[in-house]
């Protein structure tokens, strides 16, 4: 049986619409829409957000203190956040010690689920994005063939566990641990929340919307809202 072609939605932030990067995307055959993205420079469906940074951008964000907040916003925004750093020579940056840059990258590697990719220039970034889109289309085709019960993804049934894509399972486990870091949110509550909401969705909810979630106490709703407000900086 022939698999149905799955087309993923690609959104480019409006700040990039006249850049050389946007032209390169077109050259690689990528169709995209333009919108004002709250986080990142390009969004691929609802699972992937990519943020491009030149080495100069990275250094500036570390110096002025924006780096951690930007990383946390990206981490909470989607299942597979990616930061692409354009350039490959940190030695040209005289305004910051190399250890500070390495420390920032180490933080991303150890404390977040953000993938960090280094590429020479915007052309290589566009080519890399094109490959990601192809892989995401392949993932969509595979997902359309198997429809597991997402309401009980990690229940007692061995059949359900085997049907869940291993990457989805890792992402779910990371999301659970992330929510458990919030005071008063335990494993059961985190798992309950993630049955119907992503962390990104929870981060965009108002306090009243959080209070309306069945099984969530007023105190828990307030603590989630306060934490997300600090991390995402509404």
CB–CB of 96/59 below 8 Å?
A: yes
Judge if 162 and 77 occupy the same domain.
no
> What is the reported pLDDT for 172?
73
Q: Give the per-residue pLDDT at 166.
A: 56
Residue 190: predicted pLDDT: 87
Spatial separation of the C-alpha atoms in residues 5 and 133, rounded to whole Å: 13
The pLDDT score that the predictor gives to residue 163 is 44
Other CB atoms closer than 10 Å to residue 215's CB: what's the count? 10
d(CA 36, CA 93): 31
Based on the fold, state whether residues 102 and 38 are members of the same structural domain. yes
CATH code of the domain in which 101 resides: 3.40.50.10130
User: Do 102 and 163 sit in the same domain of this protein?
Assistant: no
The C-alpha atoms of residue 113 and residue 110 are separated, in whole angstroms, by 8
Residue 35 sits in the same domain as residue 116 = yes
10-13/42-44 β-pairing? antiparallel
Angle at 36 between CA 126 and CA 58, to 5 degrees: 55
* Number of separate helices (H) and strands (E) present in the chain: 11, 6
Q: How many CB atoms lie within 10 A of CB 37?
A: 18
pLDDT value at residue 234: 45
Residue 138 and residue 187 share a domain: no
Domain end: 142, 167, 186, which one?
A: 142
Counting the structural domains of the chain, the total is: 2
Same domain membership, residue 188 and residue 105: no
**Number of residues written out for the chain:** 234
Nearest to 82 by CA among 54, 107, 128, 50: 50
How big is the CA angle at 100 (ends 94 and 106), to the nearest 5 degrees?
A: 135
Q: Do both 121 and 14 map to the same domain? A: yes
Q: What is the CATH number of the domain that holds 210?
A: 1.10.150.20
Same domain, 65 and 126: yes
What CA–CA distances, in Å, run from 26 to 34, 72, 84? 13, 30, 19
Provide the residue range defining the domain that includes 174.
158-232
Residue 150 forms part of a structural domain: no
Of 142, 176, 208, which closes a domain?
142
Between CA 194 and CA 161 the distance in angstroms is: 16
72 occurs within a structural domain: yes
- 16 lies in some domain: yes
Whether residue 84 is found in the same domain as residue 131 = yes
- The answer to whether residues 19 and 75 belong to one domain is yes
pLDDT confidence of residue 61: 86
Q: Are residues 127 and 192 in the same domain?
A: no
User: Which of residues 117, 142, 167 is at a domain's end?
Assistant: 142
Residue among 187, 197, 231 at smallest CA distance from 79: 197
Torsion sign over Cα 14, 136, 130, 178: positive
Strand order in the sheet with 10-13: 33-35, 10-13, 42-44, 48-54, 80-86, 115-119
Regarding whether 189 and 106 lie in a shared domain, the answer is: no
Q: Profile the chain (234 residues) by mean pLDDT over runs of 10 residues.
A: 62 92 93 91 92 89 82 84 86 67 82 89 94 87 54 43 54 74 83 83 86 91 79 49
């Amino acid at each position: 049986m022939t698999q149905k072609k799955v087309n993923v939605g690609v959104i480019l932030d409006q700040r990039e619409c006249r850049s050389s990067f946007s032209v390169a995307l077109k050259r690689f055959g990528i169709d995209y829409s333009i919108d004002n993205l709250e986080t990142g420079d390009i969004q691929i469906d609802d699972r992937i957000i990519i943020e491009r940074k030149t080495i100069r951008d990275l250094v500036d964000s570390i110096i002025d203190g924006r780096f951690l907040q930007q990383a946390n916003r990206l981490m909470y925004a989607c299942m597979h956040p990616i930061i692409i750093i354009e350039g490959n020579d940190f030695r040209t940056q005289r305004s910051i010690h190399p250890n500070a840059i390495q420390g920032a990258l180490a933080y991303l590697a150890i404390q977040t689920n953000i993938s960090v990719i280094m590429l020479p220039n915007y052309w290589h970034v566009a080519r890399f994005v094109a490959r990601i889109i192809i892989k995401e289309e392949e993932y969509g085709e595979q997902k359309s063939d198997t429809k597991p019960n997402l309401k009980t993804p990690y229940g007692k049934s061995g059949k359900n566990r085997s049907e869940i894509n291993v990457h989805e399972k890792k992402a779910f486990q990371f999301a659970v641990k992330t929510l458990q870091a919030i005071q008063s949110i335990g494993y059961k509550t985190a798992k309950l929340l993630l049955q119907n909401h992503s962390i990104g969705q929870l981060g965009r909810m108002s306090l009243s919307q959080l209070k309306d979630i069945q099984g969530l106490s007023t105190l828990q709703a307030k603590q989630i809202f306060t934490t997300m407000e600090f991390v995402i900086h509404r």
